């Protein structure tokens, strides 16, 4: 089935090698959308930007006699003038937007096969976000029947064309989970999360996080996952961190048509720019005025930044800094910040996918206090063995030899044995000198956890310096001191 080899991982993101009938591509990958009616940038030129694979719409070709005949005669690769792998969409989105698709699932699949598509997509039914449940469930049942039919028409291992299993279910996370589970059971070469375009348009990114997570956790880990319609570079870090591997971009052209200039942090109206902040070949050689006058130049810049951002995302996976990238990107825009907040709700899940060792991390905002590495650290507090007398202290001081064990406290992790001072993750992660309350809170929660776990096993002394004064959890700790005879609360500066 799928030939997908994962080479690097970070959070739920991965760098992979996907084998297609037209060669290997590296993921995460962005597939520029080619409209077969108006090919504004030639496929050969797209390679130049970094494109390794394209996506086009089989239905648009199918419904236009001359295109259909040519595609059937010469194949989709010749029609688009490329030997790059090509994914073909089925017309589902046209079905959703214009309600006028006159082709059956079986017909459009057969057509995709006959024109030599590398990745075929069944005619799924995208259900609008926030639809009523009955509608979402009814549409999903149809989609699942079509996926079943597709798998029967194109049995696994019997053809060069890969087949995508599409996940729908509107904004109901249980339906998304069901949809993913059943698609996974049928077994596809890759999976695609659909029906999210309206959420992207309304910037409902927190809900997008819920949907991706509900889908991803029920899909096989060894298959690539496409996120339909997410072509804006500001979303890549976030979507890749949640395990999406393939993206399509019509955004570069759509935004250009609207005189909008893409950046990895959002969108600017070209008319509002006083200078071009980017150094791509277009922006290096042209003025704001020239971009204002030319949709093609604007589209070209948009493509450059789109591919640049994907390279940045890949580099951050390779070096283990995808969380930092996510945090930086999401802090550029309030509705992305909501998405980041939502991601922290899933840190326990993400931790299970994340690699256990990587480079030390940078604490960049209070969201860093809820990184998967911090959750993992808390989960492993039970690995520390304590006995006799134990000092937990926020500051190392001379003359502490009288304790059998010394734990230092470092936000956001909390207590760690002084012997691990130089080791990953606590010793090596970099935190700012002025640390926020969230990091202190998580650290003190872990102090409480360590105390509770070792109740009666040792005599504890907790000592804190005055920068911690007034933190509500100190009272909580002192409560345990009273509850637990062996624990003593000391204030360093008292
Ligand atoms: N393009 C954008 N959204 C969708 C979707 O939900 N399904 C398909 N097949 N294509 C899409
Ligand atoms: Zn540029």
Q: Summarize pLDDT for 156-189 with one digit per residue, the tens.
A: 877 789 999 999 999 999 999 999 999 999 999 9
The reply to whether omega before 398 is within 30° of 0 (cis) is no
Q: 110, 52, 37, 57: which is closest to 82 by C-alpha?
A: 52
Lowest mean pLDDT among 370-379, 407-416, 453-462: 453-462
* pLDDT attached to residue 415: 96
CATH of the domain spanning 4-353: 3.20.20.105
Nearest bound ligand to the CA of residue 89: 1
- Per-residue pLDDT of 48-67, as tens digits, reads 999 999 999 999 999 999 99
- Asked whether the predicted pLDDT for residue 269 surpasses 60, the reply is yes
- Per-residue pLDDT of 126-142, as tens digits, reads 999 999 999 999 999 99
Distance separating alpha carbons of residues 148 and 137, to the nearest angstrom: 16
User: Can you tell me the mean pLDDT for 263-291?
Assistant: 97
Ligand 1 surroundings by CB, under 6 angstroms: 89-90, 92-93, 121, 124, 126, 166, 194-195, 197, 228-229
Interacting residues of 380 by C-beta distance below 8 A, sequence separation 6+: none
Distance 93 CA to ligand 2 centre (A): 30
| pLDDT tier at 2, thresholds 50, 70, 90 | low
Cβ 261 vs Cβ 268: under 8 Å = yes
Nearest bound ligand to the CA of residue 90: 1
Distance 491 CA to ligand 1 centre (A): 60
Determine whether 436 is an active site residue. no
* pLDDT attached to residue 489: 53
Q: Pairing between strand 13-20 and 23-27?
A: antiparallel
Q: Pairing between strand 86-89 and 54-57?
A: parallel
| pLDDT tier at 466, thresholds 50, 70, 90 | confident
* pLDDT attached to residue 38: 78
- Per-residue pLDDT of 435-456, as tens digits, reads 999 999 999 999 999 999 998 8
User: Can you tell me the mean pLDDT for 357-362?
Assistant: 86
- Per-residue pLDDT of 381-401, as tens digits, reads 999 989 989 999 998 887 777
Q: How many CB atoms lie within 10 A of CB 434?
A: 6
CB crowding 182-216: b at 16 or more within 10 Å, else e? bbbeeebbbbbbbbbbbbbeeebbbbbbbbbbbbb
- Asked whether the predicted pLDDT for residue 72 surpasses 50, the reply is yes
User: Can you tell me the mean pLDDT for 283-293?
Assistant: 98
Greater confidence (35 vs 141) lies with 141
Q: 479, 488, 477, 405: which is closest to 444 by C-alpha?
A: 477
Interacting residues of 455 by C-beta distance below 8 A, sequence separation 6+: 484
Greater confidence (489 vs 36) lies with 36
- Going by alpha carbons, the residue nearest to atom 11 of ligand 1 is 93
* pLDDT attached to residue 478: 81
Q: Is 82 helix (H, G, I), strand (E, B) or coil?
A: coil
- Asked whether the predicted pLDDT for residue 191 surpasses 90, the reply is yes
- Asked whether the predicted pLDDT for residue 486 surpasses 60, the reply is no
- Asked whether the predicted pLDDT for residue 434 surpasses 60, the reply is yes
Interacting residues of 397 by C-beta distance below 8 A, sequence separation 6+: 492
Distance 194 CA to ligand 1 centre (A): 5
Which atom number of ligand 1 is nearest to the Cα of residue 90?
A: 9
DSSP 361: P
Task: Mark residue 461 as left, alpha or beta (left: phi above 0; alpha: psi -120 to 50; beta: remaining).
Answer: beta
Question: Which of 146, 194, 232 to mutate for ligand 1's pocket (most ligand atoms within 8 Å of CB)?
Answer: 194
Mean pLDDT of the chain: 93
Q: Which one of the listed residues 89, 118, 124, 245 is annotated catalytic?
A: 89
Q: 388, 385, 347: which is closest to 368 by C-alpha?
A: 347
Token pair in block for residue 296? 């093609």
Distance separating alpha carbons of residues 472 and 393, to the nearest angstrom: 17
Interacting residues of 130 by C-beta distance below 8 A, sequence separation 6+: 170, 171
Which atom number of ligand 1 is nearest to the Cα of residue 126?
A: 6
Question: Which of 90, 93, 103 to mutate for ligand 1's pocket (most ligand atoms within 8 Å of CB)?
Answer: 93
Lowest mean pLDDT among 36-40, 45-49, 97-101, 435-439: 97-101
């Amino acid at each position: 089935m799928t030939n997908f080899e994962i080479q690097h991982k970070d959070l739920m993101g991965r760098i992979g090698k996907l084998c297609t009938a037209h060669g290997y591509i590296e993921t995460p990958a962005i597939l520029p959308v080619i409209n077969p009616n108006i090919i504004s940038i030639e496929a050969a030129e797209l390679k130049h930007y970094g494109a390794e694979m394209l996506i086009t719409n089989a239905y648009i070709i199918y419904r236009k006699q001359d295109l259909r005949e040519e595609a059937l005669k010469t194949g989709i690769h010749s029609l688009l003038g490329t030997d790059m792998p090509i994914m073909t969409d089925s017309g589902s989105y046209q079905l959703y937007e214009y309600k006028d698709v006159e082709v059956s699932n079986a017909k459009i699949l057969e057509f995709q096969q006959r024109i030599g598509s590398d990745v075929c997509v069944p005619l799924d039914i995208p259900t609008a976000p926030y639809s009523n449940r009955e509608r979402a469930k009814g549409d999903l049942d149809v989609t699942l029947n079509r996926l079943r039919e597709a798998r029967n028409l194109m049995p696994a291992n019997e053809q060069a064309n890969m087949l995508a299993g599409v996940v729908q279910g509107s904004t109901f996370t249980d339906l998304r989970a069901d949809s993913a589970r059943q698609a996974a059971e049928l077994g596809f070469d890759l999976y695609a999360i659909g029906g999210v375009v309206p959420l992207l348009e309304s910037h409902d990114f927190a809900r997008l996080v819920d949907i991706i997570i509900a889908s991803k956790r029920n899909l096989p880990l060894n298959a690539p996952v496409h996120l339909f319609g997410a072509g804006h570079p500001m979303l890549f870090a976030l979507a890749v961190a949640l395990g999406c591997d393939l993206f399509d971009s019509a955004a570069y052209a759509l935004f250009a048509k609207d005189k909008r200039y893409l950046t990895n942090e959002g969108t600017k109206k070209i008319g509002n720019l006083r200078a071009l902040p980017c150094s791509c070949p277009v922006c290096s050689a042209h003025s704001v005025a020239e971009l204002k006058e030319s949709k093609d130049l604007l589209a070209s810049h948009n493509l450059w930044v789109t591919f640049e951002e994907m390279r940045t995302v890949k580099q951050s996976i390779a070096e283990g800094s995808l969380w930092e990238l996510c945090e930086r990107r999401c802090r550029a825009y309030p509705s992305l910040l909501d998405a980041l907040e939502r991601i922290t709700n899933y840190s326990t899940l993400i931790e299970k996918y994340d690699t256990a060792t990587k480079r030390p991390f940078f604490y960049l905002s209070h969201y860093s206090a809820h990184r998967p590495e911090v959750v993992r650290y808390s989960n492993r507090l039970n690995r520390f063995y304590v006995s006799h007398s134990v000092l937990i202290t926020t500051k190392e001081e001379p003359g502490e030899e009288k304790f059998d064990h010394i734990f230092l406290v470092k936000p956001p992790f909390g207590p760690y044995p002084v012997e691990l001072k130089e080791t990953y993750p606590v010793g090596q992660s970099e935190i700012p000198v002025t640390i926020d309350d969230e990091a202190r809170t998580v650290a003190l929660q872990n102090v409480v956890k360590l105390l509770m776990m070792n109740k009666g096993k040792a005599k504890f002394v907790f000592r804190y310096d005055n920068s911690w004064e007034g933190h509500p959890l100190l009272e909580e700790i002192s409560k345990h001191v009273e509850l637990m005879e062996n624990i003593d609360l000391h204030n360093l500066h008292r």
